[in-house]
Amino acid sequence: MAGRRIFSSSLLILLEGRYARWGRGICRFGTAAAIEEPITPPVQVNYTKLLIDGQFVDSASGKTFPTLDPRTGDVITHVAEGDAEDINRAVSAARKAFDEGPWPKMTPYERSQILYRFADLVEKHKDEIAALETWDSGKPYQQAAAAEVPMMTRLFQYYAGWADKIHGLTVPADGPYHVQVLHEPIGVAGQIIPWNFPLIMYTWKVGPALATGNTVVIKTAEQTPLSALYVSKLFHEAGLPEGVLNVISGYGPTAGAALASHMDVDKLAFTGSTDTGKIVLELAARSNLKPVTLELGGKSPFIICEDADIDHAVELAHFALFFNQGQCCCAGSRTFVHERVYDEFVEKAKARALKRVVGDPFRSGVEQGPQIDTEQFEKIMKYIKSGVESGATLEVGGERFGSKGYYIQPTVFSDVKDGMPIATDEIFGPVQSILKFKELDEVIQRANSTRYGLAAGVFTKSIDTANTLTRALRAGTVWINCYDVFDAAIPFGGFKMSGHGREKGIYSLQNYLQVKAVVTPLKNPAWL
C-alpha cells in the first residue's frame, strides 16, 4: 500500500471497527446537531522541548506556549518557545555538524542505512505517531494511520534509496582538459513547515536534505509541534549524529524570521501561505541571498466536463475539496461544471455533503474533524458569510457544527461567480464553490485567471479533452479522473504565486545540491 495512490479516497476507507476500541459514536452532518464528548487520545506527550545538537533542551528564554486540542480548544501541553537565540544555537550546531561532523563525510551508503533504520522505527511506532498527529491537528485518525504515516515511511525509504545514487558527471571540453562536475551538499538547510500536514511536510523537507548530506534546522508550526519532536527522537535512535537535525518550535515572526534571515543558513525551504512566502523570500534575499524553495497557496480548479459520470464526479470533487477538512493547499476549491450537467451535479453534491461524517477524529468512520484553531475557524466563517452576501446560493451547511471545538458544517455554494471572494481567495476550509461553464476555451481562460497555479483536476471520458486541458492549464500538477494522488517519485510544486521549486522525486534532491566544476589540464593531449 505504501507509496501507491496513498491519498486516494479508497485508502481512507478502512474496515468498520478497526479502531472500535476508541469509540463508535459518529455524527453525520445531516442528522446530528452535537459532537459527543471527545475520546481520550491513546498516547502520551513525552517530548515538548527544543531539539538542539542531539539534546532536548529548554528555550533560552525559558518560555513555553500552549498547543491546543482542536476538538475542544483545551490545552494539550506546553511546548518550549524558541526564538532568535534558539535559532542561533540550532544553526551553530548544524554548522558544526556539517563542517566538522561525520554526516557529510560518511559514505552515502552509511547515510542511507540510517534513513532506512529511521523508516523502520516510524513503522514500529506508527500508532503513537498517528495519534499525536490527530490530537494536535484534528485530522481523522484513520487518515493519519492509513495514509499519512505509511506515506512518511515510504518517502524516507525512497530517499534512503537515493542517498548512494547521487553523483556528478564527466564532461568533454574543447581542449586538453579533464572536467568533472560534482554534486555537493549545500550545507545548513533551514526549513519551515505548516500545520495542515505536519508529518508529510516534515518528510518532504528533511528526507531529501539528509539524503544529500546536508544538516537541518526545522521550525515547526506553532499549532502542531508534537509529531515532529516525537519522530526526530526516533532519528537519533536510528543513529543520526548529534547536530545533524535540530527542531525548533516557535512562532513565525520570531523563530521563523530568524531562521529565514540567518546568515549561516545556506538553503531555505518554506511551505505556507503566499503572503508569508513573500516575507520569507525577502528575508532570505536581504540576508545572504540563500536559495529558497517555496510551496505556497492555491485555488485549484476541478473541471467536470459534460461527458462525466456524474456520481463518480461528485464523489471525486467532494474528496478533492473536503479532504483534511479542506485544509489542503491543492484542494479542488473551484468546481467548474458544464452547464448540461450542472443542476444534477449541484443536487448530488449537496446530498453528498449532507452525508459527510463529522465528529471526533478519533472515532471510527469520521471523515471530517475540526479546523485547526479559532483563527482559521473564524476566517472560514467570514468567507461563508461573504459568499452569501455576494449572491451565491448556499445549498447546505454554513454554520458551526456542535458547540465545542472548531467544527464547521460541510458547506456547498452554487451559482458562484468568478469575482466572488469564495472563488478568488484561498479559504482553506470545508467550503465547496460550484461554478458553471459552457465552452472548453472559456473554462481554460477562467481556470487560469488566478494568481495561483498549484494544481488542477479534470474529469472527462475524452482523451482529446484531457490532453487539451492538460496542456492548457497553468498548474504544477494536473490530475485526470483522479485527485490528490501523491507518490514519492511524483514532483509537487506550483506555477505563478503558488511558489517555485519542486518537492518529492528526483527534483527535490536538486534543491539541496550545488554544482561544482573541476577542471584539470591533461599533460599529454595526444591521448584524447
* Fold assignment, 301-480: Aldehyde Dehydrogenase; Chain A, domain 2 (3.40.309)
- Residues making up the chain, counted from first to last: 528
| Domain range annotation of the chain | 52-291, 301-480
7 pLDDT more than 60:
no
User: Long-range pairs for 283-290 at CB < 8 Å and ≥24 separation?
Assistant: 283/257, 284/260, 286/261, 287/260, 287/261, 287/262, 287/263, 288/263, 290/190, 290/265, 290/266
Confidence at residue 523, expressed as pLDDT on a 0 to 100 scale: 86
All 3 cell numbers of residue 71?
A: 476538538
13 pLDDT more than 70:
no
414 pLDDT more than 80:
yes
211 pLDDT more than 80:
yes
Confidence at residue 429, expressed as pLDDT on a 0 to 100 scale: 98
Query: Sorting pLDDT into bands at 50, 70 and 90, what band is 308?
Result: very high
Catalytic residues: 295, 329
Residue 520's identity, in one-letter code, is T
503 pLDDT more than 80:
yes
Query: What percent of the chain shows pLDDT beyond 90?
Result: 91
Q: What pLDDT, in 10s, does the model give residues 248-307?
A: 999 999 999 999 999 999 999 999 999 999 999 999 999 999 999 999 999 999 999 999
* Fold assignment, 52-291: Aldehyde Dehydrogenase; Chain A, domain 1 (3.40.605)
Q: What angle do CA 56, 58, 60 make, to 5 degrees?
A: 130
Mean pLDDT value across residues 53-73: 98
Beta carbons of 106 and 246 less than 8 angstroms apart: no
Mean pLDDT value across residues 135-144: 98
Query: Sorting pLDDT into bands at 50, 70 and 90, what band is 10?
Result: very low
pTM: 0.93
Mean pLDDT value across residues 203-228: 98
| Mean pLDDT over each residue of the chain, to the nearest integer | 93
